[in-house]
Amino acid sequence: MASNIIRSSATRALLFNKASFKPIVTLPAALNKIQSASIQTSAVRNDIDSAAKYIGAGAATVGVAGAGAGIGTVFGSLVIGYARNPGLKQQLFSYAILGFALSEAMGLFCLMMAFMLLFAF
């Protein structure tokens, strides 16, 4: 295509008796445009990869909110259970601590996955 443009501009110069003519597009300029296009696609791909990381990490941190809701439910149930039967205070508290630990562990696993998505991949 570049040779057709050069050929047509040379024909025009001969028809109008111009001694010197400048081609519209030179071959090295065309090659530079092609090379810059290949670099641009790799930058776009890196942008897409980093955007996917951020979206995945954000989706993984939603589980931390679930852990917070679970902890609130556990201790809310502890208060209700203690109000109904104060004699089971020690047993209810041990169950509440177990529920707290399990809920907190799920939240920490979600947070760990978010950090792995951001920094390990």
Instruction: Return d(Cα 24, Cα 44) in angstroms, integer.
Output: 30
Residue spans of the chain under pLDDT 70: 1-41
Please tell me the pTM assigned to this model. 0.56
Instruction: Return d(Cα 78, Cα 93) in angstroms, integer.
Output: 7
Res 88: pLDDT: 93
Phi, psi of 117 (to 5 degrees): -65, -40
Q: In the chain, what is the straight-line distance between the N-terminal and C-terminal CA atoms, in Å?
A: 43
**What single DSSP character describes residue 20?**
-
Res 64: pLDDT: 92
Res 49: pLDDT: 87
Res 99: pLDDT: 96
**What single DSSP character describes residue 87?**
G
Instruction: Return d(Cα 76, Cα 83) in angstroms, integer.
Output: 11
